[in-house]
Structure 1
């Protein structure tokens, strides 16, 4: 899969994407609701060791789309992906106190066992090597205030490169969703398109050329005359 240098991709639901675009905010969530129990455990260890009141995180991808990302990080036909300009986002994060970001490091068991007390700051940015296909990028926020469900950071539309809709949406529905997203204030010029990962015309045409299959001629139907 291709590595993205200029963008990060946040996979979510269509409803969450609408909320992000309307609020112009990117929500960071309580890690204790994450699916990976190892991840939850390390994040909790880190919060306790640093004596933070609250700890929040956001997970994104640093690679081009994969079937894995659509299936694991979205609810299939309800999924959407916001592609964010990385440099612009990181410049704004640098201005916030208690916020860190970076790509996740994937470790084997013997490698994580070699970590020591001096590696405590790494805990929010390491995962087991079995998760490596995620190509994860993470933002964490540390606060003295008590833990809440979410903590948001600003995300102006200017920092969004484009929005992808999942490849399982029927075209009439995807067209309606595109219209809905562009109707949100400030989003009229936002590039929104459906993913064709599982149904690519270009891919299919390449196969047609392999077997020498010619495109079927278009048949123009004549209008029928009404019966007397």
Structure 2
């Protein structure tokens, strides 16, 4: 599904569980992960959504949970970080974060590469390491080649995103996080709706569809498993604010 996806209807969240990506969905993308600006309305919006949905609200992000909370403060909702490798329920129960020994090798070589590549940023996470080249787009081919070579030698998996490559253990993605959260009591018997912008969100779009729900793509049209589309971060906020008052959990 790709061309001319319609906007999501106002009643899409009735009886739904809502899963939100962070970067490019709730906040605008920035040159570096630390350079984002969190909108003033976001905290109150998440609070209203959580109450309207009777707690069936979660953030599923590529960022580590600790990094999300550094920008948002303590999150009283379910949250998954590191593309599904971290998961914490609203009650504070944490899922395991596997960190294979080969990850240390990848971290060292990626840091060495970044040290000689101005504009390239290394983002360390509990069970993965990401290389951002938004500030040095001319190094994309080198970054992708480095990640591919490291994956072949270490057994890690390459996760590609918007101007970023990440090395991580195999076996978890945003779709897996959505499925695990849907087994929690707050989400049970709900229809999952996932909102995201990146290629890494496609796993969650597929999972939502398989479980009777749908995905909402944020940004320009492209090949996607999503059923609906919103233009940008501002459109996501406007839609969520518009539907919050009318949600029937």
TM interval, short-chain normalised: under 0.3
* Structure whose residues are more often strand by fraction: 1
Larger Rg: 1
- Provide TM-score, normalisation by structure 1: 0.25
